[in-house]
């Protein structure tokens, strides 16, 4: 009862390491096929991600939206309700923050910031509430509805920035710059790393505590594992799912908020290059474990940052890391299957050997 990891966990960590290793090797093969040296490529990647204060700052800056959307995915998936609408919630949350930042310019710094953060979280949460409600009340597949609502949100914010909220200077596919007191301070010169990393750290601790240490976290998990058992045991499974969905939406909304307050200082029509999708992958890879989400977010953040450096140094297009990432996911998705096939094959081999011995 004392060990921190169960044997299943250890087995999984081994699989995960293997998957990542194989994917990186495949990445290396692609580099070779392109006539580049993988040593040089990966060397540049690692230096670009961790070599020096500036690089580390950039990696951490990328970690913020990944971790938030990753945690958002973790809580919802663990509760058995699948929020794939993170991208949409992120856009609306970001817009809400920008709206506050260009409208309530008279508010003092702390209060204004708080209002922007709350607005983003609230809007994101509400936008997740809709598919959540349709799911628990009418059994409408939340995977489909959240996918559809993603695009609706992206289109809606695109309308907002091009028509009612278009800046006076003309259509820029962006809002006006938010008022000065809403800007989160930058931490390292030239890097976009800002104080939102502290907010994220706090949120991550909170989510870890909620999911792993509390009775409510237990309820979320058991609902996700077997909702009928949870209901039988006295948990209101529908309510629990709905709460998980709203928390999830709020976290995605916050990811959007910090992009506006910390990075761009305005809402952009294409503010997220798919952060919520990446965040979802992060969570899926580590099976919705909050600590795993943090580690994987840094890893993915490093890949993103490092890939730019790699491109500059070796002219290998940075999109290679997307390919590597997707291969990791694929291996992880097939992890259980690979393991079963391996065990089956092993069994057959052993039986075959035994039969051979007996015949001999």
Partner 1 sequence: MLKQILNLTLIQHTIRTATPLILAALGGLLTEHAGMLNIGMEGIILLGSFFGVLGSYFFGSSLAGVLLAGLVGLIVGLIFAIFVIDLKSDEFIVGIAINIFAGGLTVFLLRSIFGVKGAFSSPNIIPLPRLNLPGISSIPFLDIIFNNHTVFIYISWIFVIMTYIYLYKTPYGIWLRAAGEYPEALETAGVSFRRMKYIASIACGILCGFAGSHLSLGYLTLFTENMSANRGFIALAAIIFGRANPIKTFGAALMFGFFDALGIRLQVVGVPSQFTQMIPYVATIVALFILTRRQLTKRKRDSEKQFK
Partner 2 sequence: MGDKLIQVRNVSKRFPGVLANDRVNLDIERGEIHAIIGENGAGKSTLMNIIYGLYEPTEGEILFEGKPIEIKSPLDAINLGIGMVHQHFMLLPSFTVAENIVLGTEPRRNRIFMDFKEAVLETQQLSETYGLRVDPYRKVGSLSVGIQQRIEILKVLYKGADILILDEPTAVLTPQETEDLFGVIRNLVEDLGKTVIIITHKLQEVLAISHRVSVMRQGKMVGTLNTKDADERVLAEMMVGREVLFEELHKVELPKEEVLSVDGIRARDNRHLMALDGVSFNLRAGEILGIAGVEGNGQTELVEVLTGLRKMEEGTLTIKGVDAFNRTPREIRKLGIAHIPEDRLATGLSREATIWENLLMGVQHMEPYAIWGIHMNKGKIRERTARLIEEFDIRTPTGDILAGSLSGGNMQKMIIAREFSFNTPILIVAQPTRGIDVGAIEFVHKQIVEKRNAGTAILLVSADLDEIFRLSDRILTLYEGRITGEFLSGEISKREIGLYMTGKHMDSIERGGAYEQ
Residues that bind partner 1 (CB under 8 A): 30, 34, 82, 84, 134, 138-141, 143-145, 147-149, 151-152, 155-156, 158-159, 162-163, 274, 277, 280-281, 284, 316-317, 319-323, 325-327, 329-330, 332-334, 336-338, 340-341
For 194, phi then psi, to 5°, come to -140, -175
Query: Pick from partner 2, partner 1, none: which does 140 bind, CB < 5 to 8 A by kind?
Result: partner 1
Strands (E), 10-97: none
Query: Pick from partner 2, partner 1, none: which does 213 bind, CB < 5 to 8 A by kind?
Result: partner 2
- Is the sign of the CA dihedral 57, 176, 115, 247 positive or negative? negative
For partner 2, give the closer residue by CB, 189 or 358: 358
Rounded CA separation 314/41 (Å): 6
Query: Pick from partner 1, partner 2, none: which does 22 bind, CB < 5 to 8 A by kind?
Result: none
Query: Pick from partner 1, partner 2, none: which does 155 bind, CB < 5 to 8 A by kind?
Result: partner 1
Residues 215-254 that bind partner 2 (CB under 8 A): 215-219, 221-222, 225-226, 228-236
For partner 1, give the closer residue by CB, 213 or 336: 336
Minimum CB separation from partner 2 for residue 339, in Å? Answer: 10
Q: Does 213 bind partner 2 (CB under 8 A)?
A: yes
For partner 1, give the closer residue by CB, 34 or 195: 34
Minimum CB separation from partner 1 for residue 105, in Å? Answer: 27
Rounded CA separation 131/145 (Å): 6
Q: Does 353 bind partner 2 (CB under 8 A)?
A: no
Question: 48, 341 in Cβ contact below 8 A?
Answer: no
Q: Does 6 bind partner 2 (CB under 8 A)?
A: yes
Question: 86, 276 in Cβ contact below 8 A?
Answer: yes
Tell me the two tokens of residue 187.
């931490």
Question: 224, 79 in Cβ contact below 8 A?
Answer: yes
Question: 246, 127 in Cβ contact below 8 A?
Answer: no
Q: Which residues contact 109 (CB under 8 A, 6 or more apart)?
A: 181, 182
């Amino acid at each position: 009862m004392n060990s921190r990891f169960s044997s299943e966990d250890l087995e999984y960590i081994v699989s995960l390491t293997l998957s990542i290793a194989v994917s990186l090797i495949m990445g290396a093969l692609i580099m070779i096929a392109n006539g580049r040296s993988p040593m040089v490529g990966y060397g540049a990647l690692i230096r670009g991600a961790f070599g020096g204060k500036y690089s580390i700052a950039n990696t951490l800056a990328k970690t913020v939206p990944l971790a938030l959307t990753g945690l958002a995915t973790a809580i919802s998936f663990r509760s058995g309700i699948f929020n794939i609408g993170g991208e949409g919630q992120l856009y609306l949350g970001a817009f809400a923050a920008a709206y506050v930042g260009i409208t309530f310019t008279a508010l003092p710094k702390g209060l204004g910031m708080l209002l922007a953060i709350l607005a983003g979280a609230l809007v994101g949460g509400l936008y997740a509430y809709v598919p959540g409600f349709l799911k628990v009340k009418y059994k409408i597949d939340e995977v489909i509805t959240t996918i559809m609502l993603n695009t609706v949100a992206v289109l809606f914010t695109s309308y907002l920035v091009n028509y009612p909220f278009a800046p006076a200077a003309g259509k820029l596919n962006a809002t006006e710059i938010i008022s000065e007191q809403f800007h989160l301070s930058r931490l390292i010169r030239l890097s976009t790393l800002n104080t939102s990393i502290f907010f994220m750290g706090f949120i991550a601790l909170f989510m870890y505590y909620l999911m792993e240490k509390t009775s409510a976290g237990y309820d979320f998990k058991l609902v996700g594992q077997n909702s009928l058992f949870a209901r039988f045991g006295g948990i209101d499974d529908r309510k629990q799912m709905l709460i998980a969905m709203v928390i999830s939406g709020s976290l995605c909304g916050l990811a959007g908020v910090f992009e506006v307050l910390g990075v761009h200082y305005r809402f952009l029509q294409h503010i997220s290059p798919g952060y919520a999708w990446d965040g979802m992958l992060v969570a899926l890879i580590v099976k919705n474990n909050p600590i795993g989400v943090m580690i994987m977010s840094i890893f993915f953040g490093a890949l993103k940052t490092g890939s730019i450096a790699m491109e500059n140094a070796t002219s290998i297009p940075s999109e290679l890391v997307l390919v590597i990432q997707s291969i990791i996911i694929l291996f992880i998705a097939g992890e259980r299957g690979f393991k079963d096939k391996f065990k089956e094959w092993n069994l057959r081999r052993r039986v075959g050997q035994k039969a051979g011995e007996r015949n001999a």
